[in-house]
Homo-oligomer: A and B are copies of this chain.
């Protein structure tokens, strides 16, 4: 690596990780995770409902703690890291953001589907007015060709985002796919560039390295990969590889390994790993928030969750359209043939 600037780690254990625990982290768990994350040296700790500000709802699942408690608990337990929040326009509002700012969050990632950056304009501008580190977050980036994704990124840049992310929400990007997107951003944007990976195709670490090699300066990780689907890029794994490659950062590898093993894994309700279903998510490119819904619907209607997800992908479903799943499951149940694969 010729560029010796330290890579910024945006930890998502307390945000994407919310998905993996059905948003049920307790205040005590949030406090403990914040302290150990801060101690490992991560730069930003994102702490929000898995679907962002305002996400705690009947539609996206209620979090155990209130939005205020999640954010203030993180803020009260950091020494060095900044606290961030996620905001999906349509779920969260500028009012939510103002409150988060008052509670001490200083970083916001304004997230839209990769072809809908337009909806982020007011939110990105408001975040700038609030003096926050403002990040544009292009979810499901595999669903847009690199040139199209760049056009969306340019919109976020024009609204005032100082960092823009390629977000591999479904863990569906190959290394080439990642390189093409990040390198195009690097050539054409003046913002910092970030990469958010998931491990569905077992490429979380590899895609993050590819992104860094192409010029990304921020990377999302979580302890032991705690996150939706097959999980995020695991902090301790990426750091081990970065150390071997002499890519600079601020993380203590052994502390991250210990935190993953001793603190994070015992909190997991189920192992965050690649299994048949999460691999199917990455392979078909369906948003990982569909996973639990497909499992439940599969069980309820006696159909293979893989068939549901494949169908959903063919229909071009995006995040927020999880309600399609029931209809698909019902249709599949009707069509069900004797030779269908059982899960």
Q: A residues touching B (Cβ–Cβ < 8 Å)?
A: 174-176, 199, 201-206, 209, 234, 236-238, 240-241, 243-245, 253-254, 257-258, 260-261, 271, 273-276, 279-280, 282-283, 306, 341, 343
Contact = CB atoms under 8 A, between A and B. Distances in A.
B174 A245 contact: yes
A271 B274 contact: no
- Secondary structure of the A contact surface, majority rule: helix
Contact of A202 (B205, B243, B254): B205
Nearest to A237: B202
A234 B202 contact: yes
A222 to B, nearest CB: 13
Nearest to A242: B174
Contacts of A203: 205-206, 241
Contact of A174 (B204, B234, B244): B244
Contacts of A237: 201-202, 274, 279
Nearest to A172: B244
Contacts of A176: 245
The residue among A241, A280, A282 with the most chain B CB atoms within 10 A of its own CB is A241
Contacts of A245: 174, 176
Given A209-B175, A276-B260, A283 B243 contact: yes
A236 B174 contact: no
A275 B258 CA distance: 10
A258 B341 contact: yes
22 contacts: A174-B245, A175-B206, A176-B245, A201-B240, A202-B205, A202-B206, A202-B237, A202-B238, A202-B241, A203-B205, A203-B206, A203-B241, A234-B274, A236-B276, A236-B279, A240-B282, A243-B283, A257-B280, A260-B276, A261-B276, A261-B343, A271-B271
Given A234-B274, A237-B279, 4 more contacts: A199-B202, A202-B205, A236-B279, A253-B283
Contacts of A343: 261
Contact of A283 (B240, B260, B274): B240
A241 B275 CA distance: 15
A238 B283 CA distance: 11
Contacts of A202: 199, 202, 204-206, 234, 237-238, 241
Contacts of A258: 276, 341
Contacts of A174: 209, 241, 244-245
